[in-house]
Structure 1
Amino acid sequence: MGNAVCYNGKGGYMISLNDYLFSGDTVLKILLQYSADLKDEAIKNHNTIDMAHSNFLIQIIEILEHTEFLTSQSQRINEFYMYMADKYQYLAFTFKGRIKSLIRAEEKFNGYILEYIHNYYKMNGRYPNEAEIKNNLNCFRDLIAYRIVISLPQCHVSEKENREEQELKLLYEIANVIPEFLEERGFTAVLAGLSDENSSELLTEDNQLYYRDYVHTPRPSGYRSLHITFYDNFARCYTELQLRTKDMDDLAEIGRANHLGYEKLQEENRARRGMIPEGECKIFDEAYERLVMLQELDLVSINVNMFKAYNNQLINDGCGLFRGRQILPFEHLSRFQDDRVGKAI
């Protein structure tokens, strides 16, 4: 079958991240070893997917080893924080930045493989070859992400106004300023590639092209947020920016969107496995096995430096293994500028 990735189900040993999580090593050492071993296997077996996987891990290594660019990036993001602090003194908001955790990044990489192969097979009745799969593994643009969460105190809302409606207006007002503001500071907004029918009219026509508007068109789990991707021309990397209200953030982080989204993803992967029997597509089999192994990982049993878990809910992650490493914590508390409620608006 030429360069196709189908096989008879009798493949050799498969390297997985789980193999490296019990040695007591640091996340960086784990990444270096895992990436190097994947590369060696890729060369030995002429496996371009494992090579792409290794190169993906190198992106994370570069972020963790060379953090000086994050200083420049956070300083420029901080300029927008200062802009908001001056313009919206009555508004409470937080700016947070994170590097995607190693386990989440690994899950996402393998999840993309499953999704692409499943959709390709469903549409074409055959499996894609390695070149086709590899070509669709260049979509990781959120290894670094920032989030702005706003909250309008009730004391700044008049009796005639609706707090949620006012927050939405403010959210979109802020969203409309961000692209031009950051482009003046070395960022380039990336087209979202979605129909503007999925965007709110509160976004300007030009900005609708850049945002994935999950506020106007929520995900099935109820998740709501505005997402925009930038290319940082100074740091030469992509970064994602998310905007939410506090209610949206609560739903995503500790509410049903978090739980239901995870459950839905597992169901989708099980359905994909059902459509593609084991042994028919080696790349699918390996990605599925790696993903399931991570999802079933007992966090209490692992031994990674600066990580501790009492159970899968009580976790202290000081190294970015399971939870993203925080790189930008800014918080602005609402200032009471006037006794007259709603005057600031």
Structure 2
Amino acid sequence: MKLIGKNGFSLVELMVAMVISLFLTLGVFAMFSMSATNVTTTGQYNQLQENGRLALAIISQDIEQLGFFGDVTGTDFIIDSNTTIVGAISDDCVGAGQNNATLPNTESAHFRRVWGYEAGVSGSITCGSTALDAIDGTDVIQIKRLVGPAGVSAGYNVATNSSQIWFYGASANVPSDANLLLTNSRVWGYQHHIYYLQTLNEIPVLSRKALSSSGMNIEDQLVEGIENMRILYGYDEDGDDAAESFLPVANVTNMMWDNQSFQRIVAVKIFLLVRTIEQDPSYTNDITYQLGDKTVGPFDDHFRRKVLATTVMLENPVLIRN
């Protein structure tokens, strides 16, 4: 018996149509849900890749030129002999060793162009009266070098010729003309950089302390999502300009840091663990990650992660010996 006109639908036909529509609607919702999940996953993996590549590029380009000091590259800096310092550094960042501040001192130990430690495990860097606020279990690296092309910079400056070096800040009462500082000299910008990881608003960030014209008072937040950093130091023990082995910071000796004899650090391997900024509730991370010699995880949270790595050859230690 028809419930509506002879040209309408029966109750059974209407119910069948509603069931079919319901299944079609559920299918559409499932498709949209899968599409949204894929978009989230793809977007987060792209974010991991781009943040990791950017962080590695920033660190690598800086580290590969560490130890460059113009015409006196490879020379020991001896105060009142071949080295003159005009002005002091405020809030200086000082690492381990007898001669490991921004500027050389009168200690007989070699001036350290590179040094590192693992936060919360070994060593520390103190800036002013405060220890560097690095995430425990992550590596910190400190490097010093001149930057070119030659010419007076807005920051801290250094004048060099083939036998002498003169450190002076832009605020020091010293002529900026290199010829008035030293005979046949060139003026360069001077960099003292410290790369480390810190947590800001619950997000891990690759940060950098840097030297200005007056002191170590610049702090740059460079890339978000860098959760762990591991650095292995490649040292050349037989003078063939190649790294025989790569060591964690705990195994690098004072002789290696000071580049004494043939014990030169000629390369570094950098491992970064990159984490997404946002969590994905549909994803659980139970993966174990390998950062060189160190294993981290599983984290059992909802952040995606990725390991990126690179090896940086250090040109100046090799050129110095040769």
Q: Do Structure 1 and Structure 2 share a fold, with TM-score over 0.5?
A: no
Alignment TM class, shorter chain as reference: under 0.3
Higher relative contact order (CA 8 A, sep 6+): 1
What TM-score do you get using the length of structure 2 for normalisation? Answer: 0.24
Higher helix share: 1
User: Which TM-score applies when normalising by structure 1?
Assistant: 0.22
Larger radius of gyration: 2
